[in-house]
Amino acid sequence: MRQSLKFEFWVGLFVLLGLGALIFLGLRVANVQGFSAEKTYPLYATFDNIGGLKVRAPIKVGGVVVGRVADIQLDAQTYTPKVTLAVNEEFNQIPDTSSLSIKTAGLLGEQYIALNVGFTIEGETEMLKAGDTFADTNSAMVLEDLIGQFLYGDKKTENSETAEPKAE
């Protein structure tokens, strides 16, 4: 009887460790930042079209993640998407001449925000502080629009220049 109890204890412990590992792995794959204690500060950006951008999408500079999308709201006055960015505090020297663009990793991959660090001019350029808004943003490229432009071209331009009434 004692042997059976010892065996059951080890099986139970092994099952609990396995479940714990699965939960941990699931949270890591889902990009849940509960285990991370990185301090961030908020910046804002307004785009015409965010495409499939999601909350917790990465913000990258040269491929390196420097923050995440914290929130996406629709501005009630302008009806444009307003994105709240949570940028890691160690990257607090972003010039106000910087720009943001929404990119896609690969052809059909996840969307992320590319931060293009702007230039600095001594005495003229200021650094973005918590709560500031990016002035220069580029919206997401929509795959359907790109395919349509490639297949059909800009019909308005082609037809308006060449379309003349034919006399029969």
Dihedral, CA of residue 22, residue 28, residue 31 and residue 34, to nearest 10: 100
Mean pLDDT of the region 20-27: 89
Looking at every residue in the chain, the average pLDDT score rounds to 84
Q: Give the residue extent of every domain in the chain.
A: 1-30, 40-152
* Residues whose CB falls within 8 Å of the CB of residue 40, separated by 6 or more in sequence, listed in order: 67, 68, 70, 86, 87, 88, 89
Looking at the chain, the whole-number percentage of residues with pLDDT higher than 90 is 50
Count CB-CB contacts under 10 A for residue 99. Answer: 15
User: Would you state the structure tokens that stand for residue 155, as one six-digit string?
Assistant: 């019909």
Count CB-CB contacts under 10 A for residue 57. Answer: 21
pLDDT of residue 162: 43
Mean pLDDT of the region 1-14: 87
80-133 pLDDT tens trace:
999 999 999 999 899 999 999 999 887 778 889 999 998 888 888 889 899 999
Among 68, 62, 73, 71, CA closest to 31: 68
Give the residue with greater pLDDT, 18 vs 161: 18
* Residues 84 and 55 sit within 8 Å (Cβ to Cβ): no
The number of residues in the chain equals 168
Task: Identify which of 64-78, 99-113, 128-142 has the greatest average pLDDT.
Answer: 64-78
30-51 pLDDT tens trace:
756 555 567 899 999 999 989 8
pTM for this entry: 0.66
Please compute, for residue 55, the number of CA atoms within 13 A of its CA located in the half-sphere on the CB side. Answer: 7
